[in-house]
Amino acid sequence: MKKTLLAALLSVVGMHCAVAAEPIDPIQPVKVENPALVNLGKMLFFDPRLSRSGFISCNSCHNLATGGVDNLKTSIGDRWAQGPINSPTVLNSFGQIAQFWDGRAKTLEEQAAGPIANPLEMASTHEMAVKVIASIPGYAKYFKAAFGDAGVTIDRITEAMAAFEKTLVTPNSRFDKWLKGNKKALTKQELAGYQLFKSSGCTMCHNGEKVGGSSFQKMGLVRPYETTNTAEGVKAVSGRDQDRMTFKVPILRNVELTYPYFHDGEAATLEKAVEVMGDVQLGRRYTEKETAQIVAFLKTLTGDQPKITYPVLPPSSAATPAFDPWAPAKK
């Protein structure tokens, strides 16, 4: 009996050591502590009335049917404005070092507040967003269930949306299954790609359970990255010239779904992204076979996608401000 118990304990310890030995960790399903808050956040995430036009919702750029992105080089904003930068995925976004490519928001709550008032995105104001949501009688019961009373504030709106976004985790990828001990979960080509991914130095930046999102790095570390995109990265926040072209390292989970790649969306395919990263970040020119191996590995990072039931939003009232998507911008 004692030998059996000891063997079982050693097996568990060995399994944990095997997982810990890898630079990438399995991602875990989320535990929902306040279902009412998450439910309210889901409604607000899909509600286009948070925008000036009454047409753009969070899901417009972070489409949960397409990996949490819009699959465009740069997103479309208010009055068909072209956004300045590629839209990062909302999946597995919680717990990163910061939000946005330049890290200007430290939390998901801060991030959720940004697009609402950004004139190139949803183009509303926080005051108008509160006025609109407060004017919709059907929202009152959801705010009361989430917060204890029906009061609407911008902080409550963004807290609810962040609570929902924190649930958008994608566990059970084939790579996670391999990490947890299922050695048949990956093919020889995929394993070769992972070994090359590690030996090349990719895991210096793309590590942890999100396979990224935990550091800022210069784009073009070994060789300058050529782009016509004007985004300056962290410099826009810090003001320091040495931070130009430094961006948050993107998450690689579900990366086969989140094309096109890089802050400027210039890499249309995973193959192109791997080739460019090898060149400008590592000073390495991958062969066609090596590129195919790394791409095969990256595709094993696609996990279970969130099962979302589209919310039925409460209707506007006579007190809800009218929306005019074609109205000229206010000067």
Return the active site residues: 121
Which two tokens mark 204? 């210096």
d(CA 75, CA 123): 14
Cα–Cα distance measured from residue 76 to residue 82, given in angstroms and rounded to the nearest whole number? 5
Q: Please work out, in degrees rounded to the nearest 5, the angle formed at the alpha carbon of residue 28 by the alpha carbons of 250 and 203.
A: 35
CA atoms within 13 A on the CB side of 69: 26
Give CA angle at 177 (174, 178), nearest 5°. 90
Judge contact between 162 and 90, C-beta under 8 A. no
Least Cα distance to 249 among 280, 210, 285 occurs for: 210
Contact between 149 and 143 under an 8 Å Cβ cutoff? The reply is: yes
Cβ within 8 Å of residue 327, ≥6 positions away = none
Nearest C-alpha neighbor of 298 from the set 224, 200, 220: 200
Burial of 316 (0-12, 13-18, 19+ CB in 10 A): middle
